[in-house]
Structure 1
């Protein structure tokens, strides 16, 4: 008689499902509770909560681990004419791992969970400002790439967490994701192959949404034939069909200020910035009038780069096409379209427009192409005569039906944005000019981030001093207001001259010499620690068959 694994026991359950239910029923139940109800966490935010473990029967254990993890995962589909090269390559990167210490004091004395009794294990983490240097140890082309890779990336492509929190689509492809969460595990040690290893008795994870504070980076230095951005466009304007040239229209723009994400709790809060477009018209003769403008439309291009190997430089569209380990996903959003026919041209005389003095401008407003508000350089057809100029202010507002991740670059994933501005002219022979300029999306911290960090610092100081409430570390409101109060700087009185500790009252070193000021030594890693860092696997690329 043959045995079939799908035989029923007469009660409607098959034998495998019954065995599975019996096995799962014996596992301890783990519940992760958070003290805060914030949907989005930012830099230096406190993640405080409790892990509750309840066992259905007496369960012996050895360790309870509570960790705050951050991981990124990518895969790239490679479709080529060669079957051996085609297939999917994957990569996994655990860039963040914080472990809750001091859980042993909450263990039962015999390390046995009693049946039906709930055991609480508190935890507290703080979202770090940046990652440790050992997270990014691959080869790079310049130090700026390392600095970008050590920035904390935002939650990216986590559809299940976004659906649970009712967060709009973040326009991330399935090939890339960045996830954060609290991971709790109950384990027991046992001997296997003459080595001590841990066996998991139960585990539970709770995902978090992290949007770290990312400041605006310096403007990009764009240019060259292979550049993905077009900051200037020249176009010849004609008088009509089979007629001569009217002049040359120049359209130019600089990178605008970043779109700063200010509020995560209020989805109706609009994120805006302003782009400045400068126009110049060089007529062929003095009697030629500038063209009548039509409309100006703005579009936002959302670009996601992903790779199955660590990148050594910032990604580009050209590199993603040539490298089989990289991929690119784009999505375009229509922002606005407005009529600019009422914009007035300003007639400029080159003999009168030369400034009498040289004015120094702020370096933060400068780019390699154009300073905001500056008239573009003449076209090739300019003959030194009168020209016309105009300025267009284009408000850029992000739609609220999408979620926008800040601009970031990690070892495997990048998110950048491109602003497309298209200008059309009126008349019978209407023409159009378009620019593609970079734009950044930055993010600020939550309003209560400072208070959370101060509270955690107070608790740590109180614990170190053996106190309970931490009253000695509290800061009075009067002291805070006095700290921010303006002060007048003036020469000290004669009675205070010569009494500074930096001078005659400074600490004395060897042989009567003044002791040097405190110094800073580089962080030294011991041999054992260095070997442990070297053994940590960061990237795990895998090659799957087609």
Structure 2
């Protein structure tokens, strides 16, 4: 039986116990004597005779990955023991400051144990000084935690990615000290105490690993319902178009002849960002200006700049979350902590003026103007941002704040906010596949039945859970997966075109220029 199925301890009971003990420790002042302090210092600075060596080392591990290696025990003194246990453990730790003091909470949400067979131990059970003993271990990262981890939210039973691990100091993931998700491979050598009822730890050692778990996007876990004065249209299981509007009053344009009207802003990010890659994501943006009925025509406001900023939100709490929080939740939940950072995602200033000196606005009618643009967005290259996730104690979410500034007195602007996803390439490919599969023939109307690019795209988008021996389907899937700068880009282009052509909410976008714009990213 695989070790991953041998023993997965109940996450709920483990986490509850750890939280209770940590809480008691946090609110009780330390009063240990000098002997206890010296004992702890001795254990801290003594070198453990146990080493944990991971054989299939990776930068990070995903759900379903196998993690194998060897533990080596080389004691400097004879040590009797009762057993050797290797475990893969996941811990969530949070720190919250309350009026009654600081509260530290720890949840052991994952503990997979691999017990070394008794037949592999020396007889009698004594590790001799100067000898070396090696034992193999193997784990498979589960896709989900036990149901007892959280019975209210399925997203809390998903494996959270590593966050703020102090032993991985080279990873800058925008995590505060108050929230951590860590994974360790731990080896413990146990011995029987004199009373025969308890076992102590003779030696132990651990090594950190990075886990990057990602799942298909779930709109119910995205905290976008808190955006005021905004509307959202969901086109398929992933694509969302956000829109907002702002009423302009006379004088907004800095001229006494300016008439009042309404500025509308609509935007969508059509693909997720991929973890630890430099792949950009196209943001489609549309502006509309509707002037009030007037006896004379007026020009729309001059666009000064378009910017998109990334906001990184880390939520943490001392009590398990029973709702999907937002940045405003702290006003009603004193147990919720929030840490945020902000970075530039992309901007556009040159696109707001044309080479011929004419306004970039397109005149639709006497009182209606429109402006469309595609802007390239890039994650900060000096940060390693894990995928979005929620668990009972910690959450990480991202949003893009898009702001369009207009020239004139007062620095007027219009802005909207959009939740965005960071995922791994496997999930991004599946998002693309499912989106294309929803309308596998819509692009045939313009290209005809014998388009080799669309043959490849549609074959790749076809359901993959069949046992068909079609070489064309297999080749198409491998072609796109292996050619991110070729067929994959064309697939995203086709997907973007189909998405926009299928929704009336995006009728202002210039579809003819979209494929070239996407392929250029």
Q: Give the one of 375, 385, 407 matched to 1:404.
A: 385
Alignment deviations for residues 109-140 of structure 1 (CA, whole Å, 9 cap, x no partner): 32221221111110011122121111114xx4
User: Is residue 74 of structure 1 aligned with residue 94 of structure 2?
Assistant: yes
**Closer, same or farther: CA 106–35 of 1 in aligned 2, 3 Å:** same
**Residue of structure 1 in register with 2:376 after alignment:** 395
User: Is residue 182 of structure 1 aligned with residue 185 of structure 2?
Assistant: yes
**Closer, same or farther: CA 74–430 of 1 in aligned 2, 3 Å:** closer
**Closer, same or farther: CA 321–484 of 1 in aligned 2, 3 Å:** farther
Q: Residue 401 of structure 1 aligns to a residue in which SS?
A: coil
Distance 2:181 2:223 in 1: 28
Query: TM-score if structure 1 supplies the norm length?
Result: 0.63
Contact 1:176 / 1:413 at 8 angstroms: preserved in 2? yes
Task: Indicate the structure (1 or 2) with the bigger Cα radius of gyration.
Answer: 1
Q: Displacement of 1:276 after TM fit? A: 1.8
**Residue of structure 2 in register with 1:279 after alignment:** 287
**Residue of structure 2 in register with 1:112 after alignment:** 126
**Closer, same or farther: CA 119–430 of 1 in aligned 2, 3 Å:** closer
Q: Give the one of 91, 104, 107 matched to 2:105.
A: 91
**Residue of structure 2 in register with 1:315 after alignment:** 325
**Closer, same or farther: CA 17–437 of 1 in aligned 2, 3 Å:** closer
**Closer, same or farther: CA 261–61 of 1 in aligned 2, 3 Å:** same
Q: Residue 154 of structure 2 aligns to a residue in which SS?
A: helix
Q: Determine which structure has the larger helix proportion and give its number.
A: 2
**Residue of structure 1 in register with 2:364 after alignment:** 348
Alignment deviations for residues 156-214 of structure 1 (CA, whole Å, 9 cap, x no partner): 011322x2xx33x111111100000101000012354xx61111111111111111133
**Closer, same or farther: CA 224–159 of 1 in aligned 2, 3 Å:** closer
Q: Give the one of 327, 332, 340 matched to 2:342.
A: 332
Q: Residue 404 of structure 1 aligns to a residue in which SS?
A: coil
Structure 2 gap ranges (5+): 1-32, 232-241, 355-359, 429-465, 474-521
Alignment deviations for residues 57-101 of structure 1 (CA, whole Å, 9 cap, x no partner): 3322111000000000001112xxxxxx43222221111111114
Q: Residue 386 of structure 2 aligns to a residue in which SS?
A: coil
**Residue of structure 2 in register with 1:159 after alignment:** 166
**Residue of structure 2 in register with 1:196 after alignment:** 197
User: Is residue 297 of structure 1 aligned with residue 307 of structure 2?
Assistant: yes
Distance 2:38 2:226 in 1: 64
Distance 2:224 2:420 in 1: 12
Q: Where does 1:214-229 land on structure 2 (aligned, <5 Å)?
A: 214-218=215-219, 220=222, 222-223=224-225
Q: Displacement of 1:238 after TM fit? A: 3.8
Aligned length: 383
Q: Residue 148 of structure 1 aligns to a residue in which SS?
A: helix
The structure, 1 or 2, with the larger RCO (C-alpha pairs under 8 Å, 6+ apart) is 1
**Closer, same or farther: CA 70–444 of 1 in aligned 2, 3 Å:** farther
Distance 1:436 1:209 in 2: 31
Structure 1 gap ranges (5+): 7-15, 79-84, 141-145, 350-384, 448-479, 488-546
| Bigger mean CA offset, 392-401 vs 239-248 | 239-248
Q: Displacement of 1:258 after TM fit? A: 4.8
Contact 2:386 / 2:422 at 8 angstroms: preserved in 1? yes
Q: Give the one of 316, 319, 329 matched to 1:306.
A: 316
Distance 2:310 2:214 in 1: 22
Contact 1:43 / 1:445 at 8 angstroms: preserved in 2? no
Backbone CA RMSD of aligned residues: 3.4
User: Is residue 415 of structure 1 aligned with residue 396 of structure 2?
Assistant: yes
Contact 2:310 / 2:401 at 8 angstroms: preserved in 1? yes
Q: Displacement of 1:331 after TM fit? A: 1.0
Contact 1:421 / 1:434 at 8 angstroms: preserved in 2? yes
Distance 1:19 1:410 in 2: 32
Contact 1:75 / 1:91 at 8 angstroms: preserved in 2? yes
Contact 2:67 / 2:141 at 8 angstroms: preserved in 1? yes
Distance 1:251 1:238 in 2: 17
**Closer, same or farther: CA 218–52 of 1 in aligned 2, 3 Å:** same
Alignment deviations for residues 436-479 of structure 1 (CA, whole Å, 9 cap, x no partner): 222121223599xxxxxxxxxxxxxxxxxxxxxxxxxxxxxxxx
Distance 1:22 1:322 in 2: 44
Q: Displacement of 1:17 after TM fit? A: 7.5
Distance 1:316 1:189 in 2: 49
Q: Give the one of 83, 102, 117 matched to 1:103.
A: 117
Distance 1:72 1:291 in 2: 50
